[in-house]
Structure 1
Amino acid sequence: MNNEKIHNKWVILGTVLIMTVMGTLDSSICNVALPVIQEEMQVPMAGIEWVTSIYLIVTISMILICGKMGDIYGKVRVFQAGVVLFTLGSLLCSMSDTLGMLILSRVVQALGQSAALANNQGIITETFPGEQRGRALGMIASSVALGTMLGPTIGGAILSFLPWNFIFIINVPIGILSFLLGVFTLPRRKPASDEKLEISSCIFMAASMFLIFTALILMQTQTAGWTFAMLAAGIIILVIFLIWQTRSRYPLIPMYLFKNKWFTMNVVALTLIFIAIGTNNIILPFYFQDARGFSPGLAGLLMTVISVAMMIVGPISGAWSDKIGCERPTLIGLILFCVAHIIVSRWQIATPLWMIVGTLLLNGIGNGLFQSPNNSLIMGSVERKEYGFAGSLSGLGRYMGMVIGITFSTSVLYHQMSLKAGKKVVSYVEGRPDLFLFGMRAVYIGIALILFVGVLLTLTRYFHKKSKKF
C-alpha cells in the first residue's frame, strides 16, 4: 500500500459508503411506497409484494457470485459495475408503468446491489491496515443502519408531495455521483486471484438459492405442497453443488475456508443475529400499532431507536476492537442483544414506554457492539485473494438470516395464536391482543434461544483467544 492510497483511504471509505447507504435506503424506502404503487397500478397485494421479494431473492442468489467475480476481475471494477446497474435499475423503476416492468427493473437494481454489496467490505479491508479496519468496517455497519432508518422517513416525505416514481429517481443523480467519485478515488489494484469463473457453478448456485429463498418467502403466507417441493429441490441442488465444489478446479466457494472453525463460527454468529433482526422488523410494528394502538408515526419513531443506537455505537465498537481485539466487544454485544430479546418476550399491553425505549436501546447497542468487530474477524480470517468471497458471504448471511427470521417468526406467531384461539389464525385478530402477545412471547423465547447459541460460540472464541495469551 503506497502513500497515495494511505492518504486517500478515508475518501475511498466515503465513496463506498455512498453506495452502501443508497442500497439499504432503497430497500426500506420501497416498502413505504407499495400501497401507493398498488393503488395506481390496480394490482393485487400478492402481486405488489413481489416488488420487494424479487429484490431480496436476486440479491441472495447473486451475491456470492459477485464476490467471486470481485476476487477474479477486481473488486473495484465489479463494485463500479454494481453502481452502474443499480443506477440504471433505479431509472427503469421510475419509468415503469406496469407491475411486470417494475419487477424486471427491480431485478436490475438487485444485480447492482449484489455486485456492490459483495465487494464493499473487501475494498475497505484492502485499503485499511489492521489497526484501523474495525473502525472502517464499523462505519459501513453504521451506514447500513442509517439507510434503513432514513428510508421510511424520506419515502414518506417524497410521497407526501411527489409521485411514487421519485423514490427511485433520487437514486439516479446519487448513483452518477457515486460512480464518478469512484473513477477518481477508488484504487485499481491487480486481482489477487488467478482463478477462472466457472459458469456451471454459478448456474447451480443461483438456482439453488433462488428456489430455497423463493420457497421460504412464499411460506410466509402459504404452505402448499408445491412450496415444500420447491424448497426440497433447492436443497437437493445445493447439496449437489457443494459436492461438486470439492472436486472443481475453480470452485465458486472455497470450501477449505470452512475448515477454519473460527471463520465458520463468525459467519454463523452473524447469520443468527440477522435472524433476530428479521424477526424484529416483522413483529415489532404489529406490537406497536395493533396490540398497543400506537400511531404509525410513534411506531416508526420507536423503530428508529435501534438504528440510531447502532449508527452511534458501530464506529465506537470498531475503534474499541482495533485497540483491544474483537473477541470481547462481540461477546458483550451479543449478550446484550440476547438479553434485549428476553425482555421483549416479557412485554405486555401495559409495559411502560420508558421500558420499551430502554429495551430498544439495549437492542441497538448490543447489535452495534457485535457487528463491526465480527465483520473484522470474518475479513481478517481470510487471505487477500478471498476478500471478495468473505465480504459477499457476510452479505449473504445478513439477507439469509433476515429471510429465515421473518419466516420463522410468522410461522411460530400464527401457530401459537391458532393454538390459543382454537382455530386457524393467519393475521392479527382485532380486539384480541392477548392472542398476539401469546404468540409473540413464543417467538421471542425462540429467538433468545437462537441468540444464546451465538453467545456460546462467541464465548468459546473468547476463551480460546484468552488462553493463547498464556
Structure 2
Amino acid sequence: ETIGWILGPIYGAVVTGLLDFTDEPWRWVFWINVPMLALLVIAFRGFSKKSRQGVERSSSSRIDLPGAVLLSIALTAVNLALASGGEFGGGTGTGIRAMGGTENPLADRAPWLLGVAVVSTILLIAWERRSRYPLLPISLYRQGPFLATIVANLCLGGVLMVTMVNVPVVVALTADSGNVSSLSAAMLAPFTAAIAVASLIASKAARQIGARATMIGGISLAVAGSILIAVVLDGDNIWTMTPGLLIGGAGIGLLLPALGTLPIQLAGAANRGAAASSALMFRLLGMTVGVSILTALGVRRLQTLTGRLEPIVREPDESTALFLTRQREFIVDHAIPLSLQVIRETFLAAAVIALLAAIPIAMLARYFSSDASTVDT
C-alpha cells in the first residue's frame, strides 16, 4: 500500500508524458487499468481454484454478495452526491466564470443520491445482522476499541487525500501547462517518500517509546505539516511546501502501520479478513468522502470570494482578443490568488481533521503497554 503512494504519482506522470500526443492523456491513466485489472482477475481466479482443491464447495458461499452490492451502492451514491457541488466556474453571475466550468448534471439530484445512500446503508446493516458470513460483521463495530481504529482510519484518509489533491491543484494553478504532471509528481515525492520511510521505522519506534507515543507523535507531525503548508504556501515559489510535506508525510507514515494492524489484532481469528478490509475501506472512504466535502466547501468558498468582484462581461464593441486578454488578467490577478487562499484554508481543515483523529487514538491508550507496543506494527 505504501509503495503505491510513492509510485502512483510517478506512474501517472509517466503515462501522461508518454501519451501527450493524444487528446486529454490523463484519461489513459484510467483506461490502462482496465486490461491490467482483467489480467489480475484471471490470475486470481486461477489461484483461487488451486487453493480450493480439497476444500468443500460450500466455502464459496462465504462471499457476501448482497452485502457487497449494497455497500457499493451506498458508497457510490454518497460520493456522487457530495461531488456534485464541486465544480467551479459554473455560475454566470460571478467573477469566477472566467475560469470556465459547467454545472454538474447531478447537482439537482444530490438529495436523491443521499437518500439512496441512507436507504442502502440501512439495508446493509439489516442484511449484515442476519448474514451467516457478513462482509462487515456488526459485532466488530460494537467493540469500542475496534470502532476507535475505524474512526481514526477515516480521519487519516481525509488528511492524506487533502495533500494528494491539493498539491497537483497548486501546480496546475501556478505552473506551465506542459509540465503539470511531472512537476506534480516531483512535488509529491517528498510527501510519499516520507510516508514510506516513517512507515518502516514506526515498528522500531513503537518498541522503543511505545505505540501510544508513536501514534501521538504521528498526529502531531501530521497537524504541524498541514499548518506549515498553509502558512508558507506561495504561488511564486511552490517549493516552499516541501518542509511541510516532509513533516506531514512522516506523521502519516508513523500512523499507517498501527492503524492497519490494530483492527486485525482486536478482531477474532474468524473476523481478521473483515477487520483488515474494514480498516482499508474506511481509510479510502475518508479519502473519497473527505475530499468531496472539502472540494464542495472549497468551491463554495471560492465562489463567495470571487462573487465580491466585478464579473468579466464582454463589452458591446469589444474584440474577442481583448476580452480574452481581460479574462486572463482577471485569472492571474484575482482568481489564482483567491484559489491559493482557499487551498491554504483546506490545509488548515486537514490539520483539524488530524486533531480529531487524536480522540479515538486517546481512547485506545489503555490497550497499549507502557514499555513497548501491544500492537505489532
Instruction: Check whether TM > 0.5.
Output: yes
CA RMSD of aligned residues (A): 4.0
1:387: which partner in 2?
A: 272
1:227: which partner in 2?
A: 110
Does structure 1 retain, via aligned residues, the 8 Å contact 2:2–2:195? yes
SS at match of 1:349: coil
Task: Output the amino acid matched with 1:389.
Answer: A
- Where in structure 2 are there 5+ consecutive unaligned residues? 88-103, 312-327, 373-377
1:246: which partner in 2?
A: 129
Change in 2 beyond 3 A, CA 1:171/1:146: farther
1:308: which partner in 2?
A: 193
Quick one: percent identity of the two aligned structures? 17
SS at match of 1:220: coil
Q: Deviations over 1:236-258 (max 9, x none)?
A: 22123213433445433211111
Change in 2 beyond 3 A, CA 1:266/1:306: same
SS at match of 1:227: helix
Task: Decide which of 319, 342, 348 is 1:445's aligned counterpart.
Answer: 348
Change in 2 beyond 3 A, CA 1:156/1:322: farther
Task: Output the amino acid matched with 1:414.
Answer: V
Change in 2 beyond 3 A, CA 1:369/1:174: farther
Change in 2 beyond 3 A, CA 1:211/1:353: closer
* Distance in 1 between residues matched to 2:76 and 2:68, nearest whole Å: 12
* Distance in 2 between residues matched to 1:379 and 1:225, nearest whole Å: 41
Asked whether 1:261 is paired with 2:113, we answer: no
1:362: which partner in 2?
A: 247
Q: Deviations over 1:397-451 (max 9, x none)?
A: 13211111221221122122122222699xx972123311332233222222111
2:315: which partner in 1?
A: none
Shift of 1:378: 1.7
1:144: which partner in 2?
A: 4
Does structure 2 retain, via aligned residues, the 8 Å contact 1:142–1:312? no
Task: Decide which of 302, 310, 323 is 1:417's aligned counterpart.
Answer: 302
1:279: which partner in 2?
A: 162
Change in 2 beyond 3 A, CA 1:327/1:194: farther
SS at match of 2:231: coil
SS at match of 1:236: helix
After TM superposition, the structure 1 = structure 2 runs for residues 179-198 of structure 1, keeping only pairs within 5 Å, are: 196-197=62-63
Change in 2 beyond 3 A, CA 1:288/1:194: closer
Which of the pair has more CA radius of gyration?
2
Does structure 2 retain, via aligned residues, the 8 Å contact 1:333–1:365? yes
Task: Decide which of 50, 63, 72 is 1:206's aligned counterpart.
Answer: 72
Asked whether 1:407 is paired with 2:287, we answer: no
Change in 2 beyond 3 A, CA 1:237/1:305: same
Q: Deviations over 1:54-98 (max 9, x none)?
A: xxxxxxxxxxxxxxxxxxxxxxxxxxxxxxxxxxxxxxxxxxxxx
Change in 2 beyond 3 A, CA 1:189/1:435: farther
Asked whether 1:154 is paired with 2:14, we answer: yes
After TM superposition, the structure 1 = structure 2 runs for residues 44-83 of structure 1, keeping only pairs within 5 Å, are: none
2:173: which partner in 1?
A: 290
Shift of 1:144: 2.2
2:365: which partner in 1?
A: 462
Q: Deviations over 1:316-364 (max 9, x none)?
A: 2234446665333222112211111112222343686664211111121
Change in 2 beyond 3 A, CA 1:198/1:280: closer
- Where in structure 1 are there 5+ consecutive unaligned residues? 1-140
Shift of 1:187: 11
Does structure 2 retain, via aligned residues, the 8 Å contact 1:334–1:455? yes
Change in 2 beyond 3 A, CA 1:270/1:241: same
* Distance in 2 between residues matched to 1:447 and 1:172, nearest whole Å: 32
SS at match of 2:234: coil
Task: Output the amino acid matched with 2:126.
Answer: I
Q: Deviations over 1:101-135 (max 9, x none)?
A: xxxxxxxxxxxxxxxxxxxxxxxxxxxxxxxxxxx
Change in 2 beyond 3 A, CA 1:150/1:177: farther
Asked whether 1:329 is paired with 2:214, we answer: yes
Task: Decide which of 300, 304, 317 is 2:202's aligned counterpart.
Answer: 317
Q: Which moved more, 1:217-226 or 1:291-300?
A: 291-300
Change in 2 beyond 3 A, CA 1:288/1:161: closer
Task: Output the amino acid matched with 1:145.
Answer: W
Change in 2 beyond 3 A, CA 1:215/1:350: closer
Change in 2 beyond 3 A, CA 1:434/1:161: closer
* Distance in 1 between residues matched to 2:343 and 2:191, nearest whole Å: 19
- Number of aligned pairs? 326
- Relative contact order, higher structure (CA 8 A, sep 6+): 2
Task: Output the amino acid matched with 1:417.
Answer: L
